[in-house]
Chain A
């Protein structure tokens, strides 16, 4: 068990490097993507060199090795989320692909005109637009339950809408990429099931900062991206409950997803390959194994405790700045804080912070409806990972104060 922060940092080449263009930035945009541990980088490099062959197809040894690595990535995810079977883990290119896949296949099989799909107001565009497209295709309706002023879900409203009995699918973020609150997904899962709906949880942020045990929280679907969890980009996961996944048709047609093909018709492969048409990003997907190994090798309780301390300190310091408003101040907070400052534009703040050596995100955060609700065109967001330190938080706060002196 790795407990020491310095030890964790030593595993990340980025933190040892001179940085981009000779400038070492404090990296506070981890909700967008994380830096990669050496184990992930080395594994990908090694596999590219010594076991690059297309997976699930050929009989020669090289292909068997590549397939083994790819399937080890799937097994790593199964262990991480405690799914019952490897068949429940569909490998995709990322959360966006997972949700689009789900909306298409679930929609085709189960959604009819007049049905409802229920989302929270705090969703990323990736968990809004695929459902809007589904509604346009099928004549179903999209409903939203409110995010309260402090960023927490209005569970009573969610239940009220569910109790009307028309909702077939609930889809909501485990942790919003803007508000950073760990949402009560266990409770929402119970509610969805009580009223006959299935539930998908967007775990893009949740898998990193809360974790999920799909047997403990029996959601029907859970999706996330590998690259926010220290694996390479172009990797993602759609977990689906086996009995439900088995009833779903394929979406993309092509190689690998078939059983028998004639010129006139095709029978499809069993899950999960039914949903993995074409050559997958197999080397990147294989890095899910070393990425998960990293995540499980660190003392997660210690890391979370440390993240909570940093988050509390950041929020305390930020609250002392005149005109600064934090979005999502209520509830159990992940190390992800979005804010605006009166009299200073979010993009100006981010540009100047970059010049001072701190990388933060600014803009709409792919969550335009939520920002509109709060009357903003953009926010600044800081998001931490296991390797960030209190000292970096201190540099960020003193830089932010300097930036605001320049702008106001």
Chain B
């Protein structure tokens, strides 16, 4: 049985709680960023680009068997690390699951500033697009 979104988020919170200080957290995010599967260059099209003042994010969404699958990339490695967390949480979910979820876990692992609307790193826009895609596919489904 697949874990719920809440359960995956809790696992991430627990693993971050094990880190001693911010340095370890960011080392881990950098590692996650490096491990994020490389996006197909063809999918890094201009219309897929979410442009922030700080960093740029590309997001590609596929809809198969009632679930959403994401591949994403960024030019900044810490942003990529956070993308990796978001993909762990949201990949393979139904539109309803995504629309019902919140991102308070980001707050709990001490990365809140990365998802505040004032942070022009593309992550806020990426979350909006994930939700927007979920809404779009949900309406196709209905």
A residues at B contact (CB < 8 Å)? 345-348, 350-352, 355, 362-364, 377-378, 406-407
Q: How far is the CA of A352 from the CA of B53 in the complex (A)?
A: 17
In the complex, chain A residues whose CB is within 8 Å of the CB of B27? 406
In the complex the two chains form, is A345's CB within 8 Å of B30's CB? no
The interface size of chain B toward A, counting residues with CB under 8 Å, comes to 16
A363 touches B54 (CB 8 A): yes
| With contact pairs A355-B22, A406-B26 given, residues A363 and B77 touching in the complex (Cβ less than 8 Å) | no
Contacts of A363 in B (CB 8 A): 53-54, 120
Interface flag for B76 (CB, 8 Å)? yes
Chain B residues within an 8 Å CB radius of A352: 26, 78
**Are B78 and A348 in contact, with the CB atoms below 8 A?**
yes
Contacts between chains A and B (CB distance < 8 A), count: 40
Task: Give bound CA distance, A364 to B56, whole Å.
Answer: 12
Does B121 reach chain A (CB closer than 8 Å)?
A: yes
Residues of A contacting B26 with CB < 8 Å? Answer: 351-352, 355, 406
Report the bound CA distance from A347 to B56 in whole Å. 10
A sample of 28 cross-chain residue pairs with beta-carbon separation below 8 angstroms, ordered by A number, consists of: A345-B55, A345-B76, A345-B77, A346-B76, A347-B54, A347-B55, A347-B76, A347-B79, A347-B121, A348-B30, A348-B76, A348-B78, A348-B79, A350-B54, A351-B26, A352-B26, A352-B78, A355-B23, A362-B54, A363-B53, A364-B53, A377-B75, A378-B54, A406-B26, A406-B27, A406-B30, A407-B30, A407-B77
- How many angstroms from the CA of A377 to the CA of B76 in the assembled complex? 11
How far is A45 from B25 in the complex, measured between Cα atoms in Å? 41
Report B's interface with A, CB cutoff 8 A.
22-23, 26-27, 30, 53-56, 75-79, 120-121
Cβ of B47 to closest chain A Cβ, rounded Å: 18
Whole-angstrom distance between the Cβ of B6 and the nearest chain A Cβ? 28
Cα distance A64–B41 in the bound complex, in angstroms: 66
User: Distance in Å from the Cβ of A404 to the closest Cβ of chain B?
Assistant: 12
Q: How far is the CB of B122 from chain A (nearest CB, A)?
A: 10
A350 proximity list for chain B (CB < 8 A): 54
Cα distance, A345 to B122, chains bound together (Å): 14
Q: Which 5 A-B pairs have the closest CB atoms?
A: A345-B76, A347-B54, A363-B53, A347-B55, A347-B76
- Scoring A351, A352, A362, A364 by chain B CB atoms within 10 A of each residue's CB, the highest score goes to A351
Assembly CA distance A362 to B27 (angstroms): 20
Bound complex: CA of A346 vs CA of B55, how far in Å? 8
By beta carbon, the residue of chain B nearest A351 is B78
Residues of chain A within 8 A of B121, CB atoms compared:
347
Q: How far is the CA of A143 from the CA of B77 in the complex (A)?
A: 38
Residues of A within 8 A of B56 (CB): 377
Closest to A354 in B: B113
Give Cα distance in the complex from A318 to B30, angstroms. 23
Q: Which residue of chain B lies nearest to A365 when distances are taken between CB atoms in the complex?
A: B53
Q: Which residues of B contact A406 (CB under 8 A)?
A: 26-27, 30
Inside 8 A of A378's CB, which chain B residues have their CB? 53-55
Shortest beta-carbon distance from B104 to chain A in Å: 19
Tell me the smallest distance from the CB of A374 to a CB of chain B, in Å.
16
Nearest chain-B residue to A345 (Cβ)? B76
Shortest CB-to-CB span from A211 to chain B, Å, is 30
Give me 10 other A-B pairs in contact (C-beta within 8 A), A351-B78, A378-B54, A406-B27 excluded: A345-B55, A345-B75, A352-B26, A362-B54, A363-B53, A364-B53, A378-B53, A378-B55, A406-B26, A407-B77
What is the CA–CA distance of A295 and B27 in the complex, to the nearest angstrom?
43
User: CB-CB < 8 A to B30: which residues of A?
Assistant: 348, 406-407
Docked pose: A377 CA to B52 CA in angstroms: 10
CB distance from B57 to the nearest CB of A (A): 11
Give the Cβ gap from B34 to chain A, nearest Cβ, in Å. Answer: 10
Inter-chain CA distance A172–B79, complex, in Å, is: 35
Q: Considering the chains assembled together, what is the distance between the CA atoms of A350 and B23 in angstroms?
A: 14
Most B CB within 10 A of own CB, among A348, A350, A378: A348
Chain A residues with CB under 8 Å of B55's CB are 345, 347, 378
How far, in Å, is B116 (CB) from chain A's closest CB? 13
